[in-house]
Amino acid sequence: MRPLLSTPFFNRFPRFLKLGSILRLALSLSLGLNLSSCAGYRLGGNKPTHLAAIHSLSIPLAKSRVVFPRVEALTTNAVVDALVQDGTYRLAAAGKSDATLILTLEDLSYRQVRSSAEDALRSEELRLEVTLSYQLIDPSRPGIILEKGKGRGHTRLFVDDNLQTARVNALPDALQRASQSIIARLADGI
């Protein structure tokens, strides 16, 4: 078998050009392929442009339009956990934040997913849906709303002997999903 450099194609060029040009070509191809995979990547968060100056948020206790025990505290804790987990914004006290996130639990509803085989009105599995509305307000300019919207979350629960306990246990999961959708909109514009 003949070496690669002794083939008729490579015999046309002087030996010092063959190795150097091959190495340069290989190096430029490998660099081009490696760097092209990172072409659109930016380090850090990808905040919406109108929120670029916001670095810290304060979150007061959520309001609720539904009657459910401790739902205001559960809602606030779910949003704070999602905010800290995302890491795009810092959590700050009310007087030291760049913006304030006002939360309201608008709706908490249950829908039947599966019923008993003997009785169609008796539920075996329910779907819990929560709707959170939010307003991001600039504290230095009261009345100016930077962003507003709604986040929805849902979960499923099985109906057992104690329906109230099953509902209370399912609520944090639905609130967590709604909170994650709100923070994703604020952090990434999704």
Amino acid residing at 49: T
Which CA distances in Å does 59 have to 16, 40, 69, 96?
68, 33, 20, 12
pLDDT surpasses 80 at 165: yes
Q: What is the 3-state secondary structure (H, E, C) of 120-152?
A: CCCEEEEEEEEEEEEEEECCCCCCCEEEEEEEE
Higher pLDDT among residues 63 and 123, named by residue:
63
The pLDDT, as a whole number, for residue 142 is 78
Helices (runs of H) and strands (runs of E) counted in the chain: 3, 6
Q: What pLDDT, in 10s, does the model give residues 18-73?
A: 556 777 777 787 777 766 665 555 555 577 888 888 889 999 999 999 998 899 99
The per-residue pLDDT for range 73-118, each reduced to its tens digit, is 999 999 999 999 988 889 989 889 899 999 999 999 999 888 777 8
Asked if pLDDT for residue 120 goes beyond 90, the answer is: no
Q: What is the DSSP string of 43-90?
A: SS----GGGTT--EEE-PPPEESS--TTHHHHHHHHHHHHHHHH-SSE
* CA angle at 42 for the pair 41 and 45, rounded to the nearest 5°: 125
pLDDT of residue 81: 94
Whether this model's pTM surpasses 0.85: no
Q: What domains are defined for the chain?
A: 4-36 (no CATH), 49-188 (3.30.160.150)
